[in-house]
Every structure is written in structure tokens, then in C-alpha cells.
Chains A and B, each alone.
Chain A
């Protein structure tokens, strides 16, 4: 069983819509959760971190964490074509970060 799972997509949404990205993890001891955005051929860029249950909002981004269900999500409001990228969920497993394989988001103009 993969430690961090994401739907590979592509997830296609129209411009201005809400994009919802999901992630599940297997290690109940994980305490830190991150979302990274990676454009093709570029390095991952940290966009959100969340450490406790509930919601955390930053601009158009909202991260949601439910430790009981071992579930993390990222909502992107008012999606823009520039949001088209691969979104990586990362979870600390012991001393390292374990990444999901990423969800490719396409925002259609």
C-alpha cells in the first residue's frame, strides 16, 4: 500500500471554478502535511502547510486536514489558467517527507 495516495488526474475545471484536490496517507503518526505545486520542468513550490485538524486558508487556497480519516485536501477558489500544474501532497513519515505521485490540474480558459 502506497504511503501517500493521490488521484493522478488530469482534473479539468473551467476558469473561475473551485478545484478540489485530495490526498490520503497511511501513517497515523504523521504530524505535518504540505501541498506543493510543480510546473512542468520546474521544481516543487510550497503553497500550503497544515499541522492540525480543520481548515487553513491562504488567499485562494484552503487546506483541509482530517487526521481521523487520514485525509488532506486542497481547494483552489477562482481557478486560473496559471494554476494549471501538478499538485503534490507531502506528509512527514519519520524523518523524511513522503510525496504522493501528484494530481495534474488543468484549468480551461
Chain B
């Protein structure tokens, strides 16, 4: 059974560029979550999605960040006009049901903004 897949694993962007992070959930899972982990800090919830629906985006920064989970294809976390403070590990997790159920994490995308 394939686990949660994320790509790319490492992404380097210059300030002002766009970053696109992709996540494919585990087989049989329909709920996707994005978390950010800044260096030496804990995991912070960003957004919770189901297919074609954003369920909870209370952790997303108000500007430059967006997420989608289309009917076909992976979930995408998009960061426009990246700044150095966006450098972090971005983890995707998936579950069969809502947040009260077990979430399994992908390997993460490590974003470096130069």
C-alpha cells in the first residue's frame, strides 16, 4: 500500500517566485491536511480539504497562500511571491474521515527561499 506521497521533496525558490507543493493521499483516504513546521518549531495546522472542498483554512496566512484538492489529481498548496520566512518543511497528512480520525503524514517538502 502506497503511503502519502509528496513532491517535490526539496524545493528552492528565489524571493518573489511561486512555490507549488503537491500531495497525494493514501489509497482509500479522502481527507487531506497541510501543516507547516518552521525550523525548531512545532507543527502548525494550515488547511483541511476534501475533494473540491476547503473544510477549514483557519491556519492559512491571509495572503499569498492557497490550497486546492481537485476532483482528479493531487492536492496543491500554492505559495505566491515567496519570502524568506516561508522557508520551512511543509507536511501533508491524510485520513479516512475527519480530524477525529488517525492522520498519516507524507515525507514532506522542504522549501528553501533564497
Docked CA distance A94–B108 (Å): 24
A95-B98, A96-B33, A96-B59 known; A46 vs B48 contact (CB < 8 Å):
no
Residues of A within 8 Å of B, CB-based: how many?
21
Give the CA-CA distance A102 to B41 in the complex, in Å.
Answer: 9
What is the bound-complex CA distance between A43 and B43, given in angstroms?
A: 10
A102 lies within 8 A of B42 (CB): yes
Q: With both chains docked as a complex, state the minimum distance between the C-beta of A59 and any C-beta of chain B, in angstroms.
A: 17
Query: How many cross-chain pairs have Cβ atoms below 8 Å apart between A and B?
Result: 54
Q: Is A98 an interface residue (CB 8 A)?
A: yes
Chain B residue total in the interface (Cβ 8 A) = 24
Binding site for A on B (CB under 8 A): 33, 35, 41-45, 48, 55-56, 58-59, 91, 98-108
**Which residues on A are within 8 Å of B, measured CB to CB?**
31-32, 34, 36, 42-46, 49, 88, 92, 94-102
Q: Which residue of A lies closest to B47 (CB)?
A: A96
